[in-house]
Amino acid sequence: MTASADKYTSQTLLDVQPLTPNLFSLRVTRDPGFRFRSGQFARLGVTRADGSVVWRAYSMVSAPHDEFLDFFSIVVPDGEFTSELSRLQKGDSLLIERQAYGYLTLDRFVDGRDLWLLATGTGIAPFVSILQDFEAWERFDTIKLVYSVREAKELAYLDLIAGLEQREYLTEFAGKLQFIPVVTRESHPGALNARITTLIETGELERAAGLELSPEHSRIMLCGNPEMIDETRKVLKARDLQLSLSKRPGQVAVETYW
């Protein structure tokens, strides 16, 4: 992908935090004119040694009201983009397109009582943004955040998630959020231990949540690897939970920028 100079700004890296050998978060300055809705993504550009620029899409982790932009990344071995990105240090530059993209936003749903956020890996990013915004808490009676990783050390943003209901602007909604961690390749205290699709098919996810997945009340967002999204959509469709489209409101929204 290429972008002309009038379509992007050069921003400064404020902080890089390694989470595991293969996962890291980064914070960059935010252009005052950059606007986005929680759940959307930006196109980031890194400049290679030969002067060419590589672009990739990354969901914002930060909230729309933050003065900075946070992103969450995995290092892909020999990856054209992430290998360059992971070498950046505080003070380095990162290109960001002026326009935000994506439809993994709450306006995909016209109604609903229970919000389910199902993520694998770095797919947690847009949901952290959504949960830092006021809208989800005001619109839904309950929020279930289901976060699946292979190993427990890959669970990111745990302190942020745990502290959401202590934020001044969210204290009135205390008790709405339930965090359900899933660790698939090892046993971990307090975490479920199976793929999200299996947890839905066996009913274990609903038992853990103390809540039924239903077309009437459930509104479900999916973000993660494409295989997980495809398989989970099929499992949900079998339960009459349909993809929400502009001409046909439904119960499921997905992100597909991979």
Q: DSSP assignment of 118-166, as one string? A: EEEGGGGHHHHHHHTSHHHHHH-SEEEEEEEESSGGG---HHHHHHGGG
The CATH superfamily label for domain 5-97 reads: Translation factors (2.40.30.10)
pLDDT for 49 = 84
pLDDT tens digits along 62-116:
999 999 999 999 988 778 888 788 888 999 999 999 999 999 999 999 999 999 9
pLDDT tens digits along 133-164:
999 999 999 999 999 999 999 999 999 999 99
Domain boundaries, the chain: 5-97, 106-254
Q: Write down the pTM of the prediction.
A: 0.94
| Residue 112 buriedness (CB in 10 A; 0-12 / 13-18 / 19+) | buried
Domain 106-254 is in which class? Answer: alpha beta
